[in-house]
Structures are given as structure tokens and as C-alpha cells.
Amino acid sequence: MDIYIVVVAGFGVMVLLTAWLPMVLRRLPLSLPICCVGIGAALSAVPTLYDLTPHPSLHLKLIEHATEAVVVISLMGAGLKIDRMIGWKRWAVTWRLLAVGMPLTILALALLGSALLGLGGVAALLLASSLAPTDPVLASDVQVGHPAEEHEDEPRFALTSEAGLNDGLAFPFVNLAIAMAGTGGLAGLSWSHWLAVDVVWKIVVGFVLGAVIGRGLGWLTFHLPNVSKLSRTGDGFVALGITCIAYGGVQAVDGYGFIGVFAAALALRASNRGHDYHRTMHDYAEELERILMMVLLVGFGAVLVGGGLLHALTWPAVAFALLALLVVRPLSGWISLLGSARRSEERAVVSFFGIRGLGTVYYLSFAIGHAPFEQTDLLWATAGLTVLISILMHGIMVTPVLFALDRKMGRPAGLPSPADPAASRPAQADRSRVS
């Protein structure tokens, strides 16, 4: 049988599973990502498909752009569903996680990479900065609900906003590792250039230009004369256009596009916070994200088995992955939230559910494609195992833990998962709406 026909039929099956599985798994200690990885691993074990799953290092550009696409779509969806206006006090927990928790995580993981894995400073920094950000793609089960659903409790809000920002904020450290690899270490590195360009300029441009683009497109969407406003179309795919414009515009002036997309989504939401069209755009972005995520995670499961992703794995690498997820992230998160006036149960949940995923894969493929790094097979194997354990551990625990937290905090237990289509009202916009 023609392999093309098999792929087309298989993709159709995956699309149907993307719609069906979240509904079936809603109250089970399982998640859609776990099922995707399992499907990919099972498929790659089929003899005729085994040779079609090469090691990711052989297709760096393809992996970089595929993971880049799903991350930016996820960032748009995350920004649109946050009801809370941005502010210093309102986002206090988020700022703590970003300013304290993330640097502590990078430092601890870099030291572990050097001590346990024997990595040089440059490779250890790359591994640490790739694993430091939480993943906006795989974290839908711990994020807030749909726009204006009023399910924005502190733990879910903190995990949503943190994932929306820390993917972009990991870039300065990844770029530092790339610069060090290109110059042979610290000796030839221009710290002033790194601070001025990679830290200050690119972050500021990402926030400011992204917000300007979001505000401008928000005016086109909600505030043009009634006959012309984009919201009258009722088309959810407008979110995709806004995502691409924001990402491309910020990247074009050498800013961080990940930050730009999230900032644009927040500004777009703020331009008319209560409008129903935000729900339409968010639902489209979420559906597209789920399809792309499923394809990539099936591929991830396939390369685990058929692509030999874990062939370079060592026992110290296993210890590194476990320490990263069970000690480094929870401890760094807990330290960052000390004195935050949040209850200990909330701090524990926020600190523990630092899910690692496709953002890590993006950063590794991006960096390895831009500079020479040592022991890349070990980097891939260690990062791959960490992502796999995170998918399994967090996916199994998220439903019972959040149910228990909701009951403890006096909230209705088992708030609808953002990934659960059964919990979402129909996303069909009224095309005759004139408001």
C-alpha cells in the first residue's frame, strides 16, 4: 500500500482522536499528551515504520520550525484566555516566578549538568536554559479556562501567565550559550552586547511592539465603524493572522517573537475585554494548537523508540531528569513564592506543576542549529527523558491534584479543563452581530 495513503488516513485518525480523547480522559488520571506519545511509540515499533523515524539531530530546521509554530499558537491562546489585567500587584506571583524562580532553575540545572553529566559550561548552560521554561503547549490542563469563564484562581492564573512569558525570557540564556559556543567560552564574549541586545533590547521590543500590534489590531477588530470591524466576520482564524503578524513584526526588528505574541494577545484582549469574539478566536487557536501538538507528540513518541533519542542516555542523566522535575523546579518555585501571602497548598501546586515540553525541543534544535555544541546526543537524550517524565508524571497527577486543591480552597471541584471540548460552549459566532 502507498505510504502516502497510510499517512493521510493516519492523520485523519489523529484529528478525530484530538477531538475525542480530551472528553474521554477528562476525569481520568491521564492526559492527551500521554496518549499521543504512546501512539507514536507504538507506531514506530511497527517494522515498516521503524526506519521512518530518524534522530531529531538529522532534521534540526524542520523540528525548530514545527515546534516554533505550535508554541506561538499556544502563546496567543494563553494570552486571550487570561481575564486579569496586567499589573504589578495583580501579577505579583508571576513576576516572582519569572524574576526569582527561573534564574534559580537555570543556575541549579547548569550546576547539575556539569556535576552529574560532565558537561562543559556551555553545554550545561544550553541544557539548563532549554529546560528552565514551563511549556504553554502541554500545560492546558493546569491553565485557566476559556475567556470570561471566571475560573481564574491563583494557581491556574500563575501557571498560565508564567508559561506565556518564560518561553520568551529563556532566550537571553540560550543566546548566551550560543555566543559562548561561537567564541569558545567566556574569554571572547562581549557582556555589554549581550546585556544591551539579548537582554534589554529584545525583551523590551517584544513587550512594547507586541502590545502596540495587539492594540492596533484590536482597534481593527472591535472599534472600526460597525460595518468594517473584524469581529463581525465571526471567523476564529483571525487569531492565526494576528499571531503571525505579531511574531513576524517583532522578529523583523530583532525582538523576541514569543514575548511579542503573548503581549499582543494581552493587548488584544484588553482592547475590548468582555466581547464574545475573544472566545471565538481563543477556541480556534486552541483547536489548532491541539492538532499541531498531537502530531508533534506522536512524532516525539516515535523518535523515542525508532529514532534512538534515548540511546545516549546514562544513569546520571536519569538522575538529572528526576532531580530537575522533583527537586529543582519545586524548590525554586517555592523559594520564589516565599512571602507572597498565598496559602501553602497553592504555592505547592504552582511550584510542582512546572511542565516541560515542546519549548525545550525548540530551544535545543534552535541552538544546536546555530552553533557547535559538544555531546549533543547526551543533550537530546537528557532533555527528551525529562520531557517524557514530565508528560507522564504531570499528566497523571494533574486531575486528582487540582480536584483536591479545588475542594480544599472551597471552589467547585473539577473545573472544566480548557482542553475539554465538552466543557466549551459552541464557538460559532453570530455573523449578524453588529455590536
CATH of the domain at 49: 1.20.1530.20
Question: Are the C-beta atoms of residues 277 and 223 closer than 8 Å to each other?
Answer: no
What is the per-residue pLDDT for 130?
A: 95
| Burial 381-420, CB ≥16 within 10 A → b, else e | bbbbbbbbbbbbbbbeebbebbeebbeeeeeeeebbbbbb
pLDDT for the residue 328: 96
Dig out the grid coordinates for 287 from the structure: 483547536
- 254 backbone φψ class: left, alpha, beta (φ>0; ψ -120 to 50): left
Q: Would you say residue 26 lies in a domain?
A: no
Q: Do 394 and 324 meet the contact criterion of CB atoms below 8 Å apart? A: no
The range of the structural domain enclosing residue 332 comes to 31-412
Phi, psi torsion values for 60, nearest 5 degrees: -65, -45
Give yes or no for a contact between 364 and 380, defined as CB atoms under 8 angstroms apart.
Answer: yes
- What is the distance between the alpha carbons of residues 123 and 185, in angstroms, rounded to a whole number? 11
pLDDT of residue 379: 96
- Residue 59 has a pLDDT of 86
pLDDT at 426: 42
Q: According to the 3-state scheme, what is the secondary structure of 405-419?
A: HHHHCCCCCCCCCCC
Q: Closest by alpha carbon to 81, among 145, 158, 150?
A: 145
Domain-embedded: residue 153: yes
pLDDT of residue 151: 61
Contact 239, 289 (CB under 8 A): no
Residue 427's Cβ-side half-sphere holds a number of Cα atoms within 13 Å equal to 19
Compute the distance between CA of residue 67 and CA of residue 398 in angstroms, rounded to an integer: 24
Residue 11 lies in a domain: no
> What's the pLDDT score for residue 413?
56
Q: For residues 6 and 10, give the distance between their C-alpha atoms in angstroms, rounded to a whole number.
A: 6
Asked whether residue 425 is assigned to any structural domain, the reply reads no
Residue 176 lies in a domain: yes
Distance CA 243, CA 76 (A): 6
Question: Does any domain span residue 426?
Answer: no
Report if residue 224 sits inside a domain: yes
Predicted pLDDT at 430 = 39
For every one of its 435 residues, what pLDDT tens digit does the chain have, with 9 covering 90 and above? 567 787 788 888 888 887 887 777 776 777 788 888 998 888 887 776 666 677 888 889 999 999 999 999 999 999 999 888 888 888 999 999 999 999 999 999 999 999 999 999 999 999 999 999 998 877 667 777 777 666 678 888 888 899 999 988 999 999 999 999 877 667 667 888 899 999 999 999 999 999 999 999 999 988 887 777 888 888 889 999 999 999 999 999 999 999 999 999 999 999 888 888 899 999 999 999 989 999 999 999 999 988 889 999 999 999 999 999 999 999 999 999 998 878 888 899 999 988 888 999 999 999 999 999 999 999 999 999 999 999 999 888 887 887 787 787 766 655 444 444 444 444 343 333 333
Cα–Cα distances (Å) from 277 to 74, 204, 212, 274, in that order, read 18, 29, 20, 9
What's the CA gap between 317 and 294, in Å, rounded? Answer: 27
Number of domains in the chain: 1
Task: Indicate whether 300 belongs to any domain.
Answer: yes
Question: What is the per-residue pLDDT for 422?
Answer: 45
Cell numbers describing residue 432:
449578524
The span from the CA of 129 to the CA of 126, in Å, is 5
Question: What pLDDT, on a 0 to 100 scale, did the predictor assign at position 275?
Answer: 86
Crossing angle of the two packed helices 376-408 and 344-352, in degrees rounded to 10: 150
